Structure formats: structure tokens, C-alpha cells
Structure 1
Amino acid sequence: MSTQILFIRHGETDWNRIKRIQGHIDIPLATTGVEQARRLAQRVADEAAQGMRLDAIYSSDLQRARQTAQPIATALGLPLHLREGLRERSYGAFEGYDRDQIAERYPDEFEHWQTRDGGFAPPDGESMRAFYHRVMDTVTPIVAAHPGGRIACVAHGGVLDCVYRFARDLTLEVPRDYALLNTSINVVDFDGGKARVMSWADISHLDAPSDDDTLRRMPERGR
């Protein structure tokens, strides 16, 4: 019995705009992100009124995700379930800096990072491989708890990246060529331990373009 999950990236933050890595730093939404979250909640509520139910809403416990998820939960009268495992990747010493600053402060680590080695971890941070397993180990029991259900998970670009790779059977070393947009709706069906992308990067609820702050700037996203 399949379970459908709407994976939603959080709204825009001020650090998204300036391409600064957030990781586990608890950055709030920018004013634009709050408006994106409002429009997202209105869309989900309108769809629910037309019969497209949501059975549950999960979110990363970081506030940029919670601020995006809470308007949906409020609009639908559902509790918000927080999961630390849905947090963005921990970038350790890289957090708080942009790409050029990382290259200047940590030249050797920066060069290793650019190789897309799944085992590489920034100082005091998390490797892509460990992050991927942490995300999927969090998603798996959520899926199991809602057989035949339709739920939402509000998280981060890196979480969406992991889910897409799982569904499309892409290795961690493959460069990303798919978008991870703020407040985008990304629909994935899970069935029998496998996943299928049904739609991706839907931002039709927004009245302005949504940014992917790493697709062109960095070979690996870290926002």
C-alpha cells in the first residue's frame, strides 16, 4: 500500500539570498519566506477543501522549517510533528560562511569537498553519506506509520536531495541537475521499500520565482 509524501523545502531566509551555509544554525525565515509560507498554506488548505487530504504534517525542528510548516498545520487543524532527523546536513566549521570564504579559510577541506566524495565531512560536520542515511532512516518509519496515507514533510534542500537520489537511484557522487526551491512541493510515492517521484519543484502557489541558491554556484548544496 503506497504512501504519498509532499516534501516541502522551507521558505527563503536572509542567508539563502547571500549563499551562506546554514546547516544546523537556526536561522529564521526572511519576510519573503514568511509570505511564501502563507501562500503555501493557502494552497494546501484550498486543495484539502477539494478533497486532497493530508493525514499528518512532519517538520524539521529547525525554525526555518517550523515557520514554514506551522501555517499549514494551523490551516488544516493538524498537530505538527517535529523530527530532528529531518534537519539539514551539519556542515560544522563551514556553517556561517559562503563558498568563497570557505575556500579561503579551509583551502584543503574545500578542495576535498569539491570532489563530491560521499565520505568527506567538514571539520566537526557530517559526511554526505552519513547525512543520507540519517535522512532515510528518519523517513522510513514516517512512511510505515501512514500506510495508504498522504502526508507532508517540511524540511531542507539537502533532505529533498537525499529523497530524490533514493527515488531515482542516484549515487551521492552524481552532480545535481534538479531544482531544490524554497517552499516547493515535491511529491514522492513510497511503496514496498521503493519510491517514485510523481512531481518535483512545484511553486505554482507563488507569485514570484523561488530560488535554488546552490544549483549553479556549488556542485553540492548546503543550504
Structure 2
Amino acid sequence: MTTQILFIRHGETDWNRIKRIQGHIDIPLAEVGLTQAQSLARRIVDEVKHGARLDAIYSSDLQRARQTAQPFADALGLPVHLSEGLRERSYGAFQGHDSDEIAARFPDEYAHWQTRDPGFTPPEGESQRAFYHRVVHAIEPLVAAHPGGRIACVAHGGVLDCVRRFACGLSLDAPRDYTLLNTSVNVVDFDNGRASIVSWGDIAHLDAPSADDTFKKVPQPGR
């Protein structure tokens, strides 16, 4: 039986805006992120009122994801089930720094990171390969618990990236050519151990553009 999951990236944080790596650091939503979460809630509630099914809501236990899930959970009267397995990748000593700071503080590790080696582990952190397997294993019991159902999982850009790679059979070192937008709705069907993308990067509920999950800093005017 097919289980459909709405994978939703959390709303924008202040650190998203300045491209500072969050990882497991528990950063709250910025004002714009809270507004995005409310817009998301209105969309999901409207869809349910018009007949869409939503059986359960799961979220990373980090507050930026919880704050994104809670408005539509409250409106629908559903609990938010928290999962450490849905957390963002742990970047260890890289966390709390932007890419320029990492290059200056950890030049050798930064150079290795840029090779896209899935086995590279930041100091005290988690490799892309370990992260990917953690995410896939965290999703498996959710699918098993809701055969034929439709659920929401609110998580992080890195988690959505793992889901996309799993569904499309992409290698972990392949460059990304798809978006991972704040409060985007990304719909994936799971059936008999396989996944397929139904829709991706949907931000129709937002009134303004949404930021992609990237560590690349945008040049400021005059710099």
C-alpha cells in the first residue's frame, strides 16, 4: 500500500539568512519564519477542509522544525510526534560558523568537505553517508505505521536532500540541481520499499520568495 509523506522544510531562521551552519544547534525561527509557518498552516488546513487526508504529523525535535509544525497541528487538533532521527546533519565543529570562517579555522577539513566525499566527517560531526542512512532508517517506521495513509514530516534541508536522493537514486556526491526551500511542501509516495516524487518545492502558500538551503553567501551591495 502506498504511504504519502509531505516533507516540509522548516521556516526561515536568522542563521539561514546569514548562511551560518546550524546543524544540531537549536536555533528558533526568525519573524519571517514564523509568518511562513502561519501561511503553511492556512494552506494545510484549507486542503484538509477540502477533503485532503492527514493522519499524523512528525517533526524533528529541533525547535525550528517544531515551530513550523505546531500551527497546523494545533489547527487540526493533531499531536506533533518528535523524532531525533529527523534532525539536520550534525556538522560538529563547523556549527555556528559560515563557510568563510570554516575555511579560515579548518583549512584542511574545509578543502576535504568541498570534494563532496560522502565519507568526510567534520570534526565531532557526522558524515553525509551516516546522515543519509540515519534519515532513511528514521522514515522507514513512519511508513510502516501508516500503510495507505498520508502524513506530514517537518524537518530540514539536509533531510529533504536525503529523501530526494533516495527517491531518485542519486549518489551522495552528485551535485544538487533541485531546491530545498524554507516551508516548501515536497510530496513523496512510498510503496514496497521504493519512493517516488509526486511534487517538489511547492511554496504556493507564501507571498514572498523562499530561501534555498545553501551555504553560499550572497554578495552584499558595495562589496
- The equivalent residue for 1:221 is none
Deviations 1:176-218 (A, max 9, x none): 1100000000000000000000000000000000000417659
Identity of aligned residues (%): 74
Structure 2 unpaired stretches of 5+: 219-223
Partner of 1:17: helix, strand, or coil? helix
User: Contact conserved, 2:187 with 2:199, CA < 8 A, in 1?
Assistant: yes
Question: 1: CA distance between counterparts of 2:139 and 2:76?
Answer: 22
Counterpart of 2:186 in structure 1: which amino acid? N
Q: In angstroms, what is the RMSD of aligned CA positions?
A: 1.1
User: Contact conserved, 1:179 with 1:215, CA < 8 A, in 2?
Assistant: no
- The equivalent residue for 2:221 is none
TM-score by length of 2: 0.96
Q: CA deviation at 1:39?
A: 0.3
Query: Which stretches of structure 1, 4 residues or longer, exceed 4 Å deviation after superposition?
Result: 215-218
Question: 2: CA distance between counterparts of 1:217 and 1:197?
Answer: 29
- The equivalent residue for 1:128 is 128
- The equivalent residue for 1:180 is 180
Q: CA deviation at 1:149?
A: 0.2
- The equivalent residue for 1:9 is 9
- The equivalent residue for 1:189 is 189
Counterpart of 1:128 in structure 2: which amino acid? Q
1:141 and 2:141 correspond: yes
Question: 1: CA distance between counterparts of 2:152 and 2:217?
Answer: 29
Question: 2: CA distance between counterparts of 1:53 and 1:148?
Answer: 11
Deviations 1:35-65 (A, max 9, x none): 0000000000000000001000000000000
Q: 1:66 to 1:40 in 2, by over 3 A?
A: same
Counterpart of 2:96 in structure 1: which amino acid? G
Counterpart of 1:186 in structure 2: which amino acid? N
User: Contact conserved, 1:177 with 1:215, CA < 8 A, in 2?
Assistant: no
- The equivalent residue for 1:69 is 69
Question: What are the residue-to-residue correspondences of 1:1-223 with 2, within 5 Å?
Answer: 1-214=1-214
TM-score by length of 1: 0.96
Question: 2: CA distance between counterparts of 1:172 and 1:155?
Answer: 19
Question: 2: CA distance between counterparts of 1:139 and 1:175?
Answer: 23
Q: 1:77 to 1:62 in 2, by over 3 A?
A: same
Question: 1: CA distance between counterparts of 2:102 and 2:79?
Answer: 39
Partner of 1:132: helix, strand, or coil? helix
User: Contact conserved, 1:17 with 1:213, CA < 8 A, in 2?
Assistant: no
User: Contact conserved, 2:65 with 2:155, CA < 8 A, in 1?
Assistant: yes
Residue correspondences, number: 218
